[in-house]
Structure 1
Amino acid sequence: MRMNHALSLRPAAPADAPLLAAMHAASWQATYRSLLPADYLEREVGAERAAYWRARMEAPGGERRLVLIAQLDDGTPVGFVCVERQPGSPWGVLLDNLHALPGHQGMGVGKRLMQAAQDWARAQGEAQLYLYVLDGNTPAIAFYERQGWTYSGSEPDRMGGVDITALRYVYRLDAV
């Protein structure tokens, strides 16, 4: 499936927190149906993501973070990425969020956002990125593995009131 519109990336501003929250919630609602409680996804995730993004976009340390919004040439937002340097992390730079909205997956949005995150991390002098993906999120796991990410461990976590397992993947940046 190919995109009919040109895709551009723009830096997110604090005023974009509601948009980021809406995209994040929509992505989780579509992706985590079989992994998280329906009640949480239907009733709580929107408000939770709104509070999260409002706080995150206003938090100090913005120089350690890059948040980009992918949009079509008509201005329609179709995804976003958030990558953040983690001082002292043995894993490198955290690719904390990578979301292509339902209906826009398989069109190169995720690849374009991931490439921007890799370019930014490389420009920061970093050698590696890492991310966490929910165990059971097989489409995302397959996507990351196709892009060259490798599994490096798992950690217990809690999300939506249930215990989950977060799988850690790493991506080694090659010098360009």
Structure 2
Amino acid sequence: MNSKIALRAATPDDTALIASMHAQSWASAYRGILPNAYLNDDLNAERAAHWAERMKDVASGAASVFIAEHAGQPVGFMCLVEPDEAGSVLVDNLHALPGHRGLGTGTVMLDEAARWARARGARQLHLFVLEQNTAAIGFYESRGWRRAAREADHMAGIDLFSLRYLYPLDQTQKDQLGQ
């Protein structure tokens, strides 16, 4: 684990911070993928509304959000959803702020996601990444995630595709995927 990055459980008081980090991350990572009008004008309000609603799942125990900090400053976050009927935990969001990518933040968060999921008896992790987000795809694949599906998606008023990625948490599944 990167000793410079610490994770803490988010609280309802962190809702605006999470929404702001989410908007900053998308504005950087999705430039050229999602419409500029959305990224420039609509994103902050849309992410604020999203997280005001999403934190209700956290309050109910259906999900957990962790904030990554470096030297006490927030540099990223992730949201994990309790295991589904197949024993898979959704990594609903995993974002490092621009300027903090490539410094180990994402790896620290993924390590915690695996630990968190195993503690709940999950068999695997899954997530979705936009097909055009090649930087994120490279990040996940370099850490042993494998593409499982391509699905139609709709964001910011446009049709696109998301890729479903899986990460097995036990050796039997890793063997089946050839890892």
1:87-166 paired onto structure 2 within 5 Å: 87-88=84-85, 90=86, 92-166=88-162
Alpha-carbon distance, 1:113 to partner: 0.5
Unaligned runs of 5+ in 1: none
Residues 121-130 or 59-68, more deviating: 59-68
The list of structure 1 runs, each at least 4 consecutive aligned residues, that deviate by more than 4 angstroms after superposition, is none
Summarize the alignment of residues 10-159 of structure 1 with structure 2, pairs less than 5 Å apart.
Answer: 10-59=8-57, 62-73=60-71, 75-88=72-85, 90=86, 92-159=88-155
Q: CA deviation at 1:97?
A: 0.4
Work out whether residues 78 and 94 of structure 2, in 8 Å CA contact, stay in contact via their aligned partners in 1: yes
Query: Cα distance, 1:63 vs. partner?
Result: 2.1
CA distance in 2, matches of 1:53, 1:152: 27
After TM superposition, the score normalised by the length of structure 2 is 0.90
Stretches of structure 2 that go unaligned for 5 or more consecutive residues are: 172-179
Offset of residue 87 of structure 1: 3.0
Cα separation, 2, equivalents of 1:37 and 1:123: 39
Asked if the contact 1:91–1:130 (Cα under 8 Å) also holds between the matched residues in 2, the reply is no
**Contact 2:57-2:63 within 8 A present in 1 as well:** no
Q: Is the 8 A contact 2:87 2:121 kept in 1?
A: no
Secondary structure (helix, strand or coil) at the match of 2:128 reads strand
